[in-house]
Amino acid sequence: MNDNVEPDNVEPDNDEAVYITDLARCQPQSCLSESPKRRAWHVQPYETAELSGNLLSAGEETAAPDVSLGLALSGWHRIFVGVYPDHRGLGSIELKLSGDPCYTHLNMGPDWTNSSPHGQSIYELFWKDADLTGREISIRQVCTPTGSSDEPAAVSCQRTKVAYVKLVPMSEGLVREVESDRRREDTRRLFAHNDAHGYLFLYGTATEAAIRNEIEPYRHTDFSRLYWECGAGDLMFYLGQVGRLPACDGIEDFDRQGDRLHAETWRSFRDQRLDPFVVALEAAREIGLSFHASYRPAGFFYPPPLEQWNQGSLYFSRPDLRMMGKDGRIAPRISYAFADTRRFVIDLLLEVAQHPVDGICILYNRRPPLVDYEPPLVEGFIEVYGEDPRRLADDDPRWLAYRSVALTEFHRDLREALDKLAREQRRDRIMVSACVLNREENFRNGLDLERWIAEGLIDTLIPYTDLPDLDSMGMAWEDEEAVDYFVRLVEGTPCQLALNLMPRHMPPELFRRKAASLYAQGVENLFFWDSAGPSGRAHFGASWDALRRLGHRDEIDAWLREGEPSLRAASTQLRKLGDYDLTYQTPG
């Protein structure tokens, strides 16, 4: 079998690797079956050129129970798992060592190999390094409830085939290197974002373990910050008093199953008095991440088919705060031109900041603008300039500069309120981050970055992307002038810069090349929107192996000098599965 590419500071000897290929050893045996069966793992014999054994298989309706695999090993090992993806190239499994705080979701992620997803290959995913003394591995199928809370239980599961566990012993010297590497601070230059929505939308599980599952992948990585969303508009993703919860009480029908799961999970959180925001904060701190509460300022009103999130919105109770277009039409959003809007949002963020967060982040990268031609701005401009801005060009610099005052006032008030809270609670400065647009879009949408930085109103600037198509394979920040603009904007100031890398999924080699390029241009930190979970970036495929160590500039430089060797996941071709000879080729 080909060697898996591992972090550069460790070189385990695969000749000493222990392969556990007979997963029919899992316990309890009552959860295993020699034929496909609901609520049992299907045990299937398999063969490759190098290995043979029994893999565990579960389908979309299996709902296989948790099983455990005894290891009977001691000392430190590197842990890999062999996953056999389905015909779409997808494969996932949840694993947990006894003593771990929660399961870890391992997912194939995008397959960047040259082989067809219809091929018959087992792919090897690196999980982690750990002391295995007296421990066993628990295996779980990933399942989502599909019936509503008042209907009989039903589930939809992710197809799972796990073929083997590979354990590579680590020498004492190697363990010391790994432990020393984990203590490094100079490599921890990555920031992660989590919308606090995806895991509810996908799995609908209202448990503390499910929340911790979102954060566990960052343990012993180059990530130093977690940006966890606390709310959007007047929706709050924590148990508080200022806003409203996304529980959608009384709504029976949803356009998407995930929206129903999200709402029902929040009802459960509320009834249990389980605050996912607090759990996420505690979990992040336990693994050494600073915690920044992130907020979507434009989330007061949602378009079809998401109307259920508008139930009880400020948009209806305060129609006087609605945005107005140049032609006088009311826009379906709340405007920050009004002092009452700004005051409401600051009250909500102050309630969030009562928790021991390290910072607050305003996410301007979703659904701008926040100001347009509202009466306070139009009337104020006429008073100053004697002209009606509605008769000027949309990009008139005087109008754009005047309109930006609204969000600058918001940041001044926010900074003052957070500083006052920090003094009262004798806390360190509560940092403010701003996730913004590209150079051209910012000022056009009322974001005066130069003034914010000059006045010390923000501590971290996060330009979201310069890509018009977020799902394209075009790389963000290919334009060096765009990068240079933001580097110079913060140069000589206390404000940090963290560029967001897009698209979300790229081959591992591209992640390294782009990180190297940005570092060479003076960028010190990298930001990753939608980082956690299988729908994000932390899927434990080859791309995640590269991404989670992108703070190791020395490793990246060495890799470049070596000619950029492949970072793809190791794989081995199946020859036989059950009674079927997979080497037999059917024409066409």
User: How many other β-carbons are positioned within 10 Å of the β-carbon of residue 498?
Assistant: 23
Residue with tokens 């967060």: 357
CB 377 within 8 A of CB 402: yes
Q: pTM for the full model?
A: 0.94
Q: Where are the beta strands (DSSP E) in 195-256?
A: 223-232, 235-236
Q: How many CB atoms lie within 10 A of CB 31?
A: 18
From the number of C-beta atoms within 10 Å of its C-beta (0-12, 13-18, 19+), residue 579 rates as exposed
Q: Which residues pair with 165 in a beta bridge?
A: 20, 81
141-192: pLDDT as tens digits: 988 877 665 554 577 888 889 999 999 999 999 999 999 999 999 999 999 9
CB atoms within 10 A of CB 179: 12
CA distance 567 to 242: 48
Per DSSP, what are the bridge partners of residue 155? 145
What pLDDT score does 36 carry? 94
In degrees to the nearest 10, what's the CA dihedral of 48, 52, 54, 55?
Answer: -30
Asked whether 231 and 295 are in contact (CB, 8 A), the reply is: yes
Q: How far apart are CA 57 and CA 36, in angstroms?
A: 9
Count CB-CB contacts under 10 A for residue 310.
18
Beta bridge partners of 129: 78
State the amino acid at position 375 in one-letter form: P
Q: For 370-388, write each residue's pLDDT tens digit.
A: 999 999 999 999 999 999 9
Question: Domain 14-179+570-581 falls in which CATH fold?
Answer: Jelly Rolls (2.60.120)
- Contact between 422 and 410 under an 8 Å Cβ cutoff? The reply is no
- Calculate what percentage of the chain has a pLDDT beyond 90: 79
What integer pLDDT is reported at residue 466 of this predicted model?
Answer: 65
For residue 47, count other CB atoms closer than 10 A to its CB: 16
- 3-class secondary structure, 234: coil
Tell me the three state secondary structure of residue 384. helix
The closest of 167, 140, 131, 125 to 571, measured between CA atoms, is 125
> What does the pLDDT look like over 393-427, one tens digit per residue?
999 999 999 999 999 999 999 999 999 999 999 99
Look at residue 272 and tell me whether its pLDDT is greater than 70.
yes
Under DSSP, the state recorded for 345 is: H
How many degrees, rounded to 5, is the angle at CA 127 between CA 542 and CA 278? 105
Instruction: Please name which of 26, 60, 106 lies closest in space to residue 541, comparing C-alpha atoms.
Output: 106
Question: Tell me, what amino acid is at 349?
Answer: L
* pLDDT tens digits for range 517-567: 999 999 999 999 988 765 678 888 889 999 999 999 999 999 999 999 999
Where are the extended beta strands (E) located within 7-91? 18-20, 32-33, 41-48, 52-58, 67-70, 76-83
Query: Residue 508 above 50 pLDDT?
Result: yes
Residue-by-residue DSSP string for 311-324 = TT-HHHH-GGGEEE
Mean pLDDT in residue range 218-222? 97
Strands 223-232 and 190-194: parallel
Locus of tokens 């990180």: 515
Q: At what angle do helices 553-561 and 508-520 cross, to 10 degrees?
A: 110
Residue 138 CA to residue 140 CA, distance in Å, equals 7
| Whole-angstrom distance, CA of residue 403 vs CA of residue 447 | 9
Which distant-in-sequence residues (6+ apart) come within 8 Å of 552 by Cβ?
7, 8, 187, 222
Whether CATH 3.20.20.80 fits 188-551? yes
Cβ atoms of residues 552 and 186 within 8 Å: no
Which residues make up the CATH 3.20.20.80 domain(s) of the chain? 188-551
pLDDT for residue 9? 38
Task: Identify the bridge partners of residue 68 per DSSP, sorted by sequence position.
Answer: 27, 138
Average pLDDT over the chain reads 91
Record the tokens describing residue 561, joined without a space. 């000098």
Residues 122, 569: Cα–Cα separation, whole Å? 10
pLDDT digits over 483-506, tens only? 999 999 999 999 999 999 988 888
**Chain position carrying tokens 């397959």:** 111
